[in-house]
Structure formats: structure tokens, C-alpha cells
Copies of this chain bind each other. A is one copy, B any other.
């Protein structure tokens, strides 16, 4: 089947919001200024786990310049229930509890009270006057710790969901699920070689540039107006309404520009608090987090403890795979081990599989999505074991994966069967890449590869398109633009309309001004909102054909359109010519599109990493790095490449440096961007990219979301490269210099094999 030819899709126009972003004119949440606006400050727990005996806000309320103080007691106490807020189902009590602690604090940084004052300094000073009496409790900081029989119980009321059904098991495990396919014992019995390893990963933060913020005005007419930086304005609307016990239409959210999110700007922390402060004061209230707040009180990715056991025959065919995944939920039950269980073996076509997942509450911030949540952890484990198997069997690691690669029709252990996917094509592209074809030379150097998978979630999106008399169109959408989606969505409309990408003016509007649109997350925006734009553009084209038919006094069915030209018989008219004549043919033309795709495709990505390990310091240098990913169809290749590079870099950060350094008392000791070490441009080579295009049969242009799969394999690829460079395999992330030195010098380590840097 030949690929369709496109005029706009696949080109690289300048993004519509580019000028505003590079010149500083784009308005972010912290830029919001309203008449009479107050500033809020949130008092946070100094303890990782403690009972709140008393909160006295008297002195704070009396402090000059303070207009209001709120605690959890100020919020409606509606009965608990499960709410689906577009990011999975969550008990309302967890959302509320995480927003402002009630009875207990469950992590250091847990919000306790908030102050609104004439400026942020007064608010901060007043917050320090709030008296809180705590009874400190022992804390559990990792999944293995929290799963111990003698672990402190974090939630008295938590009932474990054991294999889908609630049990009375006490403790900190919120859920245990198991995916079974085939007969795992039979599978291992068929293996010639079995590798079983345990892995740990640290808590890692998304590290978006812009801290969370929210400005709220509880208006005189009873509506709550919110301005904030969020991945999903409608999620903020619905969560805030839920917490405040209002109908969703009583909340209006105006999304500002966003300085990164990576999943971490889906949860709602500040908005209902700012709203309640506004209700008490009658004035708008703005709250902006500090970087310390961001680290300590938003949602990082789970630390995890995993065991992966894989058996293979000598010919390289995997016979069985088993995984044990214990993921930190953070302070409230989480959802991240779920996708870890769905992706841990998703890249392989396996007959016998068992996967056990445990969602474990610990005294750390409640985890949130972080770019393919759960999958990088799981891939670190799986892809390390696969590498070891290939190595021990003497098979090229890409060939080994090709022998076992998932393909159309492969049924995953968690149930679904793949439609057309690009796993094999990604592996082939890795194999044929300039990078992989170039031998790696030099001492202390190694090359690693790894493979990863992530979904496209579908979820609802809405768009409208209006035609301008100058032959351009305005496109209205509700998707936060993080990585250039204004343009990638506009391009899909432009393709249908036969006009240039620049002739589409996309606008991201508030929740009052567009149909429901779910979060920018799950690699869904270019995919699903792009599809909504496609539908809106089709709706426009149907109407424009009618208009052309009217002018030509013919039937609309006889009007054809291609490449921006309408034709009927030997008559033709350009899009712009027709757009100029709408007034005389019935008035404005407005199209609308709304979609809710289900059962859509996913994307595979592969990483190739060349590293050099310094035997004297343990420092690992990334020499060369290539990301290969199946984009289905790359709408705007530059932004696909940008996603691939960004995900790769974040994965490298996970691999080598990033982690929450926790004290035994549960305090994060490195909650600044000086001490929490993310890779900078000086740490990295240019990340090479190779876009594979295996069109998604579940999208009109074949798009696969590309935002996430690229972060899945890098940590494993780097771990495999470090192993091949240094001769030691590390089983814990990050593989920072101390960890590498420890591995090199431990009994049985391979320090002697390394070549000194300065011989």
C-alpha cells in the first residue's frame, strides 16, 4: 500500500505560538494580574508522617495584611465517592486529602493551610504564625519498606484491592493485580537459559520549568473563575467543581501558556484552595508554588522495586516472562503500576507470561503521571534482562529482540491484541541506523540498546473552525499546547481544507468556549484533537461545496475539492475565492468536530546509547545517542523529533542522575534544581532521531502519539551500555558516579578491566 501524498502534513512550518514564546509575550499562570488580586501562600508539613492534633490560625488571621486563612475544615464535606476526572478513577477523598491535609499529614510538604494576603511576603510570614501541633509517626519511604509487616500503616481506612476484589488485608498495599497469559511454569521449563534480576528505581520528578500556579476568583454570580497552567483545563474545571461541590458549569478555567508538564500538571493542587480563599475575601487570589513546593508537594513518578525473570531457548526465542512490580503510590493510592504492568512485556510476542503489580502507599508526595508513567521503570528491568540474555546467548541484541518482537495480532498479557504496530520496523530502523552501523571504538566504552512501548489514549476532544473572508480559517481548541500541538492540529485541518498551515489560526480557549476536551497527556493531543480538527474541517468542506454549488447553480454532490481548489465540470474556484463569497451564499461557514477515539494504536521507540565510563570517578558520558520511534505519520517532523529528543534526555536523566535524596525522616534533601541534577545541554550530545512511519489504522492520517514512548527505553539502553563499557551491570537507577564506583570496586567488580583515563 502506497502512502498517501500530503501537501501540509510532513512539512515543518513555524509554530503559531513561536514568536510569543521566544519574545516573552506569552502569558503564563504566574503572569496573571487581576484588579484587587491577593496573594496566597500554602503552609506545608515539616513531617513525613504525623497526626495533626491542633491547628490554630488565630495569629495568622490577625496579622496585618492578611485577608483570609483556610484549612480543610473550610471545604464541603460531601460523602466520599469514586470520581472519574479524565485521568483515571480516584476516590474524591484522596483528591481532597492531598489538597489540604485532614487529621494526618502523609508526606513532608503536605498542604495544611493557606493564607491570602496583600502580597506574597505577608502571606508567607503569616503562614509561619499558624500553630500546628503534630504527633510525629514512623514513616515508610519505599515500596519494600511499606510492605513489611511491621511498617507504619499510612491510611487507617485503606482496604487492599487483591486481584481486583477488595479484601480486609491491612497495610499499605492499595492494590494487587495479576496478568496471566499461558502457563508460566511450562514456559520456563522450555527455556535453555533463565535470567532473573531485581531492580530498583528512585523517585524522579518531571522537572518542568514552570512551577504550578493558580489564580481564582469566586465571582459575585456564584461562578468560580480560574486561570492556571494545566495540561487539561477541563480536568481542573471538573476536579475543582467536585471538591467545591459545584456543578461543573459553575467553574470556568482559562488555561494560560504552560512551561512544561510531562503529566505532572494534570493533578489539581492549588485551584480549589485559591477559590476558597477568594470566596472568603471576595477578591481574586493567586498562588504560585516555589521550586521546593514543586519537588515536595506535587506528583513525581513512583520509585519502584521490580523482579523480572525471562527464559529463552538457545535460538533466542523467549519462552516465558515473569514480572513482580511494586510501585510507590506516594501518599495516596496511585495508578502508575497499572501501565507498568501493561507495558513491561508489551514489546514482545510471548506465549507464557505472569505479571504481578502492587500499588504501595508510602510517605512521599502522591505520585502523578510522568511521560509514559510506569513504563520506563518496567523497561529498565525488562530490557536489562533481555540484554543479559542476548549477551549470554551470543545474539546481537537487536536480532534477539526481532526474534521476539510484538506484531499485529500479538495479544498482550493484560488482554488487548495489537492492531497494526511498528515494533519490527523500529527494530529494523535501529539496526540500519548510521549509529548502529558505526562500530564503537575506544576504551571504557560501551553500546546499549533498548526497546519501549507506550499507548495512545483516546479520550474526548472538540474543535470548531470558522472561515475568514481572506481565505484563512480560525481553529478553536481546548488542548493545552505543550509541544507544538497548536501547529500539529492546525496542519491536519489545513490538509483537509487544502490551505497552508499558516492559513489556520489556532487558539486554545477557556472551558466556556469549546466543547469538552480531555488532558494533553497520554500522547493524545496531536492524535485526538487533531482528529477533531480533521472532522471540523470536513464539516467546513461539506458546507463550502454547497456554497460552490450555489454559485455554480449545480448540486453539491457534483463539486469536488482537492488541494484547495473546488471543481465542478470545467469550473474551478480556490478556497480563498470561495471564502470571499460566503456573504452572498448564505453567510458564515463554521465547522465542528468532536471525537472520543477508543481502541487506538500505540508507539514503539528504541534507544541506542554509546557511553564512556570514567574509571576514576564513575562518571558516565553519553557519547552518542539515537532515538528511533514509530510516529505512525509524523504531522510536523520537527516536533516529533523534539519529543524524541526530549524524552531521550529525560530518560538519560533517570539513568544517570535524577533522584529524590530522602532523609530517614522522609525529608527530600535536594529539593532545588542545583541539587536535583537534571541533564543540561552541556551533559549531552545532539540526540539523533529516526522517525519510523507505520500508519495507525485508527486515525484518519495514521497518527500515533509520540510524546511518551521515547522516554521508555533510554534508561535501559544506558544501563546496557554502561554494562558493556564497565563490565558491571547496575540494577538501580540512577547509575550515578558513586553507584558505578561501588559496583566497580565491590568484591567481584570489574575495576581492573577498565583502562585508566590518564594512563
**Chain A residues near B (Cβ < 8 Å):** 16, 18-20, 23, 25, 31, 33, 35, 219-222, 238, 247-249, 252, 460-462, 464, 466-470, 472, 474, 476, 503, 505, 507, 509-517, 539, 582-583, 586-596
Contacts and interface: CB of A to CB of B under 8 A. Distances in A.
A582 B460 CA distance: 10
B25 A516 contact: no
A624 to B, nearest CB: 36
B590 A249 contact: no
Contacts of A23: 220
Contact of A509 (B221, B513, B590): B513
Contacts of A582: 460, 516
Contacts of A469: 238, 248, 516
A382 to B, nearest CB: 33
Contacts of A517: 588
Contact of A470 (B18, B248, B464, B510): B248
Of A221, A461, A469, A588, the most chain B CB neighbours within 10 A belong to A588
Contacts of A31: 35
A539 B252 CA distance: 24
Of A33, A511, A590, the most chain B CB neighbours within 10 A belong to A590
Nearest to A463: B590
Of A18, A472, A515, A591, the most chain B CB neighbours within 10 A belong to A515
Contacts of A588: 460-462, 515-517, 594, 596
B587 A595 contact: yes
A468 B221 contact: no
Q: How many copies altogether?
A: 2
A508 to B, nearest CB: 10
14 contacts: A19-B221, A20-B221, A31-B35, A33-B33, A248-B469, A248-B470, A460-B588, A461-B588, A464-B476, A476-B514, A507-B512, A507-B513, A513-B513, A587-B595
Contacts of A511: 474
Contacts of A467: 515
Instruction: List the 4 closest pairs (A to B, CB-CB), nearest first.
Output: A587-B596, A19-B221, A466-B515, A249-B472
A457 B416 CA distance: 59
A18 B221 contact: yes
Contact of A468 (B220, B248, B513): B248
Given A462-B588, A507-B513, 8 more contacts: A19-B219, A25-B219, A249-B470, A461-B587, A464-B590, A464-B592, A507-B512, A587-B594
A514 B468 contact: no
A18 B593 CA distance: 32
B220 A25 contact: yes
Contact of A590 (B462, B472, B583, B586): B462
B221 A474 contact: no
Contacts of A220: 19-20, 23, 25
A52 to B, nearest CB: 34
A400 to B, nearest CB: 42
B516 A468 contact: yes
Contacts of A539: 592
A589 B515 contact: yes
Contacts of A583: 460, 596
